[in-house]
Structure 1
């Protein structure tokens, strides 16, 4: 079994040239403890991606965090710029539209262990660069997740946890009531309780969380389990789940009324059929649900890591903690 709890995300708004150095510094700090030159390489990655936003785009951001599953570092850049007319050419060393040496994206791709880019006119550019030691196992179908505190808070009252077991993947998402340290305490206790027995029936997981959170503020909680061509959803409170594909939004699910740790109705599961092209997105109310009204074709076809970053960048409510997690097709369906 592999498992991981929420990794809090660093958000660097790229709204001024000075933000490039901030992105580099924060990436190096997040990579502290990784072997060899990886912390310095993380700083270069973040610097190159941030510089690209400053030169070519607007309304950009860089997200930095340790990978949700596996031992690595994720650096994700997103902007609302004009997009790239020729992505392949932009990755060639020496190509530049700003009369610079043109090494940015090409250098980032060389440094990164994994590198994914999507760009489209009118939509902007998104880049995911993952950095890991050479002997680090790759996580097949890794989820994309971001966990961001409300503006002015040092820690998030949201949380999540992911576990893979017996051919299934189970995800827990928590939104501690309010925000700040007390909400964070509830979220972290829920993560630990879940990870002690993530293979239990989902209703039993919520019942165990209810007992564990009795002396906290309580939380809205959703548990999701994907197995082959099916997803099971069991939730209490305002944590939402959406299934989508390139054809559009298919299903939207919200938890039943209640508060885990305070007032728990009988947990009931709902089931959704998944195709091999389905993505599942879970998110707390720090992400505005109106993103589901008319998502563009460009957004619907993003891989999980870029989809999560795109939604957090454009639909985050900054006065609240915000967490989003996207799962691609389940491992057993590949």
Structure 2
């Protein structure tokens, strides 16, 4: 999964930068003129909303397979999402068609907002999502400030009726950190190992050619099977629902540098709980207690909300959210 790029939008002139970047992505992915036009309109509408109604925010652009994923993040006054999606409703004296137009133009759309807490809006343009039967999975990865590549990375694979998820955080940031996480993910995709711990043990020796990475692997199957997790380093895992919040511990160490004997740990996955994995670019002591209703949203919106409110802002940062159906 490629990292997102962040475009601060505090005045109307900054929307154009995001739109030009999106045009390049559309050309790279082979969008036709109509599809590229829908993406451009989506960016213009969401960027204009940030300026007019939210007093600024940011647009995030990422590539997911053959699609462009667009996120709008703000900490403005918030909005009534259902009313704003209806044509003709406006709080700023406009025609009131912007948000509804974005929903119609996008291939997938979701949003969440609370009064006084801003909004997160996600719109996907083009491409069919890679199927993950039984699960909904989404992630947001941002490079460290000033970097074009991220030392974080994440990936999925299916094996023996399970879905495996890896999140890797190469030491430091920049190209060498990206090389470490890229190699960890490549080894993850081709490993024949039967468990998360064995998979990481197999990768350790090959990872010695890099600066090393903090890595966690989760193995997930349909309910009532438990979640099985193994990791080395400071990747944080949480199982969060409306009534529980359980931290999932991994072991100290750095894959490719020094690790102890890794072990798989099994965790009951409560009904309605989501799995959150994130790198240390996100503060570890976050809570969703003040965001009533967020857990019912699409994983991409939940990931965006966590990143918006809890990103340290000085390192690569990645959040991956999984919902089991």
TM-score, length of structure 2 as denominator length: 0.91
The CA RMSD measured in Å over matched residues stands at 2.0
The separation in 1 between residues aligned to 2:244 and 2:192, in whole angstroms, is: 31
Structure 2 counterparts to residues 213-292 of structure 1, below 5 A: 213-229=207-223, 230-249=226-245, 251-292=246-287
Q: How many angstroms does 1:280 deviate by? A: 0.2
Q: How many angstroms does 1:59 deviate by? A: 4.8
Gaps spanning 5+ residues in structure 1: where?
A: 1-5
> In 2, are the aligned partners of 1:165 and 1:199 still within 8 Å (CA)?
no
The separation in 2 between residues aligned to 1:175 and 1:107, in whole angstroms, is: 38
Cα distance change on mapping 1:131 and 1:166 into 2, 3 Å: farther
| 1:100 equivalenced with 2:100 (yes/no) | no
| 1:66 equivalenced with 2:63 (yes/no) | yes
Counterpart in 2 of 1:319? 314
- State the SS of the aligned residue for 2:285: helix
The separation in 2 between residues aligned to 1:42 and 1:289, in whole angstroms, is: 34
Aligned length: 319
Cα distance change on mapping 1:199 and 1:30 into 2, 3 Å: farther
Structure 2 counterparts to residues 151-190 of structure 1, below 5 A: 151-190=145-184
Q: How many angstroms does 1:138 deviate by? A: 6.6
Cα distance change on mapping 1:271 and 1:319 into 2, 3 Å: same
Kindly report structure 1 stretches of 4+ aligned residues shifted beyond 6 Å: none
| 1:81 equivalenced with 2:76 (yes/no) | yes
Cα distance change on mapping 1:208 and 1:322 into 2, 3 Å: same
| 1:139 equivalenced with 2:131 (yes/no) | yes
Q: How many angstroms does 1:208 deviate by? A: 2.1
Q: How many angstroms does 1:103 deviate by? A: 2.2
The separation in 1 between residues aligned to 2:17 and 2:69, in whole angstroms, is: 16
> In 2, are the aligned partners of 1:29 and 1:39 still within 8 Å (CA)?
no
Gaps spanning 5+ residues in structure 2: where?
A: none
CA offsets 1:64-87 (integer angstroms, 9 cap, x no match): 1112xx5322111121122223x3
> In 2, are the aligned partners of 1:123 and 1:298 still within 8 Å (CA)?
no
Counterpart in 2 of 1:90? 84
| 1:14 equivalenced with 2:4 (yes/no) | no
The separation in 2 between residues aligned to 1:46 and 1:182, in whole angstroms, is: 32
TM-score, length of structure 1 as denominator length: 0.89
